[in-house]
Amino acid sequence: MTQDQDIICEIRGAAGVVVLNRPKALNALSLGMVRELARALDAWENDPRVTRVVVLSTSEKAFSAGGDIRWLHDCGKAGRHDEMLAFWGEEYILNHRIKTYPKPYVALIDGIVMGGGVGISLHGSHRIAGDRYLFAMPEVGIGFFPDVGATYALPRLPGAFGRFLALTGERIGAADALAVGLATHGVPSARMAELADALAGPGALDEILAAFAVARDPGPLQGERALIAEVFAGETLPGIVDGLKRAATGGNAFAGKLLQTLTAKSPTSVAIAFEQMRRGGALDFAEAMRTEYRIVSRIARGHDFYEGVRAVVIDKDQAPRWVPATLEAVRQADIDAYFASLGADELGLEG
């Protein structure tokens, strides 16, 4: 297969292997990487030599930390919204391609997996978590929203855990990810390279994975699952905030921490994420991706995304000035507008 410095797609034995090779940027996805992966999946779908796809990273720190938000920010500031939407559109089509891919798709995740990295791993058939696995969808902290299929995947996690992740952007490790189904297998970091080699061999996929998988002790959030399930199942966003306040007042330190976290995020983004989670459980994957494209088309022309990237990535003053500044000031009609049809500009997606 063709090779690019940021992503290498090649056939190794029985596997189509995708190597994310942009370590200095923590494998942040570029449009070129999205296109290269899409081309490889097209080529391998009907290639009898390829029985499975394996995605891995050359970085010990990250599988993929997301999309290239600095580039997206700069495009928007320069008025190049078409370039931004071309990236998101092709990325979302790729997410759908992975979700519906007819061959096993195995992501070896040993390090940070966030944003766009979630989009090219979570929707595959097998998600292998190494010891360094660290999952988050932290978009509400930069005035964005949990995209790349989170609208579909997160509402389907047990015990309102997906809502918790979407609204707070909290990071979780391998044990908690395995407990809620974000990961399918746990494998020690020291054996990941060996596993990659084995997956290129002739053995049955499930037997190979079973031979490498290890059980993990309960994760640090195991003891908080009951609180998460109770509070984040709330029917309204103010209800969730009130639930956290009650728990914090009652002495629950975890609830107090989440309340602080929530109030620091973009109020508009938090409200969008809540609405995504509320609607997403009833959507099929294609409609979830069309929904996300509607949202991102409006965010690209809004305020908070640019302010969030400025505060967190560019100036790094960690002092974003959100508009509106509080959850109480967010109007439901404004949130609903993010979800409205784009008419002729809808995401072109089969299914």
> Cα(260)–Cα(265) distance, rounded to whole angstroms?
9
**Which parts of 213-319 fold into alpha helices (H)?**
225-232, 237-249, 253-264, 267-280, 285-299, 304-309
> Cα(310)–Cα(211) distance, rounded to whole angstroms?
46
Contacts of 192 (CB under 8 A, 6+ apart): 56, 108, 110, 128, 130
> Cα(306)–Cα(297) distance, rounded to whole angstroms?
14
> Cα(198)–Cα(183) distance, rounded to whole angstroms?
19
- Alpha-carbon distances of 253 from 161, 226, 260, rounded to whole Å: 18, 14, 11
170 is catalytic: no
Which of 36, 91, 110, 139 is the catalytic position? Answer: 139
Both tokens of 200, joined, read 């290129």
Which of 16, 66, 67, 115 is the catalytic position? Answer: 67
> Cα(196)–Cα(110) distance, rounded to whole angstroms?
12
b vs e for 240-267, b when ≥16 Cβ sit within 10 Å of the residue's Cβ? bbebbeebbeeebebbbebbebbeebbb
Classify strands 112-114 and 52-57 as parallel, antiparallel or unpaired: unpaired
Identify the sign of the CA torsion 315, 325, 134, 110.
negative
> Cα(273)–Cα(294) distance, rounded to whole angstroms?
13
* Entry field: residues in the chain: 351
Which of 16, 115, 116, 149 is the catalytic position? Answer: 116
280 is catalytic: no
10 is catalytic: no
What's the number of CA atoms in the CB half-sphere (13 Å) around residue 100? 15
* Residue 107, strand partner residues: 55, 127
- Cβ distance 197 to 13 under 8 Å? no
Which of 147, 176, 275, 307 is the catalytic position? Answer: 147
147 is catalytic: yes
End-to-end C-alpha distance for the chain, whole angstroms: 28
Active site residues: 67, 116, 139, 147
